Structure 1
Amino acid sequence: MSSLTSDLNLTENITTIIRPSYFYISGFTGIPNMKYYYVFLCFVYIISLVGNIFIMIVICMDSSLQSPKYIAVFNLAFTDLCESTALVPKLLDMFLFSRQFISYDECLSNLFFVFLFLTMQSFNLIILSYDRLVAICFPLRYHTLVNHRSMFQLTGAAWALAVLIILIPVGFITRLSFCGSLVINSYFCDHYPLYSLAAPCSDVLPNDVMSYLNLFIVLYIPIIFIIASYICIIHALFTITLPKDRHRAIKTCTSHLILVAVFYLPVNIIYIFSFLPTNIRIINYSLTSVLPPMLNPIIYVLKTEEFKVSAKKLVRNGAQRAVGPVKST
């Protein structure tokens, strides 16, 4: 009888999911003068906030920018704004005010929103790549293939896919039991450091598989598509006879290529040099999360001529309204 009771208790313990009330985010431990890095992050967040809001305002105010291409640009600015807001304020609150404990539900929410907006950054670059591919390789069919309806459909599909592929790994975490350490070795509720805590008492193989699958969908499929699209674009450029037209076509791609390099290169460096010490990887990872949302608006303002013209016109009109009409004496 006692043996049967113990077996029942053992079965109950195995099937019970242990969910802690909180986790502890270790962040940047043991690194001297980190307060200066937090000041830097605060500065980056402010620039990201101002820059991306400015881009959205210019696109909304200038009818000449309300084209299918700028639907994707607006969506990228909105995503950058949300990604910075989902990550940086919480990060500063945790480490400046020593509030590194985070509840279970809040941790999963933090994980979901940070990765959702990072995923959308990647998908937005695919949409912009598609726009350039059609514009240069199929110029006569551009307005048929890329219009307001198709761009809204692409953007909506990207958001739906992003939500789905982030919800699944978050759901997989809810099936895990955490019976060991509750210290997350990252600066937010990162996916791998979080589910690896459950390895001593749960089967994390499905989480591993889902993690690699998501990495392939979010990172490598977009890179493959963008490389393939630019191979087609380069081939099309050689068919353009006039140097002036070729130069104009190349110039329209430079801003997008810089955005691609800023987003994808640092992330790939992190995975290639995964043997680096934890603190160095955490700092590099944090920089890849916060710098693209700051740099994207600057790149578009400096590299896109039509946007520069619209931005200058909007600023000039705003200044004139602020000063008011000059009265002649």
Structure 2
Amino acid sequence: MDAVNQTRVTEFVFLGLTDNWVLELLFFVTFSITYTLTLLGNILIVVTIVFTPRLHTPMYFFLSNLSLIDICHSSVTVPKMLEGFLLERKTISFDNCIAQLFFLHLFACAEIFLLTIMAYDRYVAICTPLHYAIVMNMKICVRLVFALWLGGTIHSLAQTFLTIRLPYCGPNVIDSYFCDVPPVIKLACTDTYLTGMLIVSNSGTISLTCFLALVTSYTIILVSLRKQSAEGRRKAWATCSAHFMVVAFFFGPCIFLYSRPDTSFSIDKVVSVFYTVVTPLLNPLIYTLRNEEVKSAMKQLRERQVVFVKSCT
């Protein structure tokens, strides 16, 4: 018995999304295209903002950071998921599993904080426009971004510590396609109720608190729009509706997955796919298709590239 207790799990086995090889092939093609579009779309947004001087404002500075986070967030889980579609036995080493869940929570928490900051930015710009240049200057914006990364790191370290402090001596099968804290701690060889409650109080509190802050900000903005001109209301509504769509798509799955104690539902995998694969693709689509300024900047950047190529030839 002592020998069994001292045996440490060295790898985990994923059950994946399905065991049907036809569906696995279909998922591989679909998610490969989705991941490629996610990378290209977010990189395009970053490049457009960097090379367009008129977009060097706090709102677009935060948007470029959101695109970077989405690239990193999807890259934590999607490549390993795609690899699993091609393998009969889907495994990950213990150390890589811990690294995956650390970076998953780092980028997810960073995005939660960033979306909250973006809501505050819109609140200041619409409700107190005369103070905007002072309250949201670039120096403050850089500090806010540094703070969100620091907060995300602290949160992720806490989640990782709560996970690795538990003993793992078997079983080692994870009913998912990536390593996350809830499914991993279920495999621990000890009672995890207290740990589960600590994890929920950490992740759940952050998600719910930031979501309530976001809803409050947008409610105040909507109320204040009554005092704006018709054109001002149209521009503010276009910007805020895009932000709120991103918030709903990201916070909904987060709250669903991380705000409940040791319970799981059959729909969890579907929600996880939406949260880790689909949402990072939707963000660039929402911000480009609904933002005339970004589309105009992309068009001008493409025209400058064409002129540059012609001049070189």
Query: TM-score, normalized by length of structure 1?
Result: 0.87
Partner of 2:169: 179
Task: Choose which of 282, 288, 298 in structure 2 pairs with 1:295.
Answer: 282
Inter-partner Cα distance in structure 1 for 2:163 and 2:257: 24
The answer for the alignment partner of 1:161 in structure 2 is 151
How far off is 1:57 after superposition? Answer: 0.6
The whole-number CA distance in structure 1 between the counterparts of 2:151 and 2:257 is 25
Cα distance in 2 for residues equivalent to 1:173 and 1:266: 21
Superposition pairs of residues 79-158 of structure 1, within 5 angstroms: 79-98=69-88, 100-158=90-148
Q: 1:325 to 1:284 in 2, by over 3 A?
A: same
Query: For residues 218 and 104 of structure 2, what CA distance do their matches in structure 1 show?
Result: 29
Residues 237 and 21 of structure 1: CA distance in aligned 2, closer, same or farther (over 3 Å) = same
Q: Give per-residue Cα distances to partners, 1:252-277, cap 9 Å, x unaligned.
A: 21221221122223445567997742
Paired residue secondary structure (1:33): helix
State whether residues 105 and 155 of structure 2, in contact with CA within 8 Å, keep that contact through their aligned partners in structure 1: no
The corresponding residue for 2:187 is 197
2:17 alignment counterpart: 28
C-alpha RMSD of the superposition: 2.4
Residue in structure 2 matched with residue 38 of structure 1 by the alignment: 28
What is the CA distance between 1:249 and its match in structure 2?
2.1
Query: 1:237 maps to which residue?
Result: 225
1:248 aligns with 2:248: no
Residue of structure 2 aligned with 1:284, choices 271, 282, 293:
271
Q: Do structure 1's residue 322 and structure 2's residue 309 form an aligned pair? A: yes
Give the Cα–Cα distance (whole angstroms) in 2 for the partners of residues 65 and 19 of structure 1: 52
Q: CA deviation at 1:48?
A: 0.4
Number of equivalenced pairs: 310
Q: Please tell me whether the aligned partners of residues 49 and 64 of structure 2 are also in contact (alpha carbons under 8 angstroms).
A: yes
- Give the TM-score taking structure 2 as reference length: 0.91
Matched AA of 1:250: W
Deviation of 1:251 (Å)? 2.1
Q: Secondary structure at the match of 1:101?
A: strand
Over 3 Å counting, the alpha-carbon distance change for 1:66 and 1:17 in structure 2 is farther
1:207 aligns with 2:192: no
Separation in 2, partners of 1:18, 1:235:
60
Summarize the Cα distance change of 1:218–1:43 in structure 2 as closer, same or farther, 3 Å threshold. Answer: farther
In 1: Cα distance, 2:171 partner to 2:142 partner: 45
**Secondary structure, aligned partner of 1:216:** helix
**Helix, strand or coil for the counterpart of 1:177?**
coil
Aligned to 2:297: 310
Contact 1:47 / 1:294 at 8 angstroms: preserved in 2? yes
Residues 255 and 268 of structure 1, relative CA distance in 2, 3 Å threshold = same
